[in-house]
Structure 1
Amino acid sequence: MPRRDLHAAFVEAYGREDVSLDNFKGLCKRKGWLTGRTGRYEKGDVPANKGKRMPYHPNSARTRFKKGQLPHNTKYAGHERVRKDGYVEISVNERNPHTGADRRYVHKHRWLWEQKNGPVPEDMVLKCLDGDKTNTDPSNWKLIPRGMLPRLNGVHGRGYDDAPADLKPTIMAVSELEHRAREGNAAKK
Structure 2
Amino acid sequence: MRRGRIPYSTAELEWLETNFRMVISDYHQAFVQKFDRHDVSLVHLNHLRKRKGWKVGRDGSRYKGRLRTYSRAEMDWLEENRLLPISEYQKRFVETFGRDVSAKKLHALRKRQGWKTGRTGQFQKGQEPQNKGKTCAPGTGGHHPNAQRTHFKKGGLPHNTVGAGHERIDSKDGYVVLIVDKVNPWTGAKTRPVHKHRWLWEKAHGPIPDDHVLKCLDGDKTNCDPSNWELIPREVLPHLNGRYGLAFDYAEPEIKPAIMAMAKLKNAAKQARKRSSAR
Partner of 1:26: 115
Deviation at residue 83 of structure 1 after TM alignment:
1.4
Per-residue Cα deviation, 1:101-158 (whole angstroms, up to 9, x for no partner): 2111100000000001111001100001111111111011000011111110111111
SS at match of 2:145: coil
- One of 163, 166, 173 as aligned partner of 2:254: 166
Matched, 1:119 2:207: yes
The structure whose residues are more often helix, as a share, is: 2
Partner of 1:10: none
Partner of 2:143: 51
Partner of 2:240: 152
SS at match of 1:26: coil
For the structure 1 residues 72 and 17, does the alpha-carbon distance in structure 2 shift closer, same or farther, using more than 3 Å as the test? closer
Distance in 2 (alpha carbons) for counterparts of 1:135 and 1:157: 24
Partner of 1:8: none
For the structure 1 residues 54 and 27, does the alpha-carbon distance in structure 2 shift closer, same or farther, using more than 3 Å as the test? closer
For the structure 1 residues 17 and 87, does the alpha-carbon distance in structure 2 shift closer, same or farther, using more than 3 Å as the test? closer
Distance in 1 (alpha carbons) for counterparts of 2:162 and 2:79: 65
The answer to which structure, 1 or 2, has the higher relative contact order (CA under 8 A, 6+ apart) is 1
Larger Rg: 2
Assess if the C-alpha contact under 8 Å between 2:82 and 2:117 holds in 1: no
RMSD in angstroms over aligned alpha carbons?
3.6
Deviation at residue 167 of structure 1 after TM alignment:
1.1
Q: TM-score, normalised on structure 1? A: 0.69
Per-residue Cα deviation, 1:67-93 (whole angstroms, up to 9, x for no partner): 988788652211111112221111012
Within 5 Å, which residues of 2 pair with 1:172-187?
A: 172-187=260-275
Assess if the C-alpha contact under 8 Å between 2:180 and 2:191 holds in 1: yes
Which consecutive unaligned segments of at least 5 residues does structure 2 have? 1-76, 84-109
Deviation at residue 100 of structure 1 after TM alignment:
2.4
Matched, 1:143 2:231: yes
Distance in 1 (alpha carbons) for counterparts of 2:260 and 2:79: 87
Count residues in correspondence. Answer: 159
Which consecutive unaligned segments of at least 5 residues does structure 1 have? 1-15
Deviation at residue 186 of structure 1 after TM alignment:
0.8
Partner of 2:185: 97
Assess if the C-alpha contact under 8 Å between 2:211 and 2:234 holds in 1: yes
Q: Percent identity of the aligned residues?
A: 46
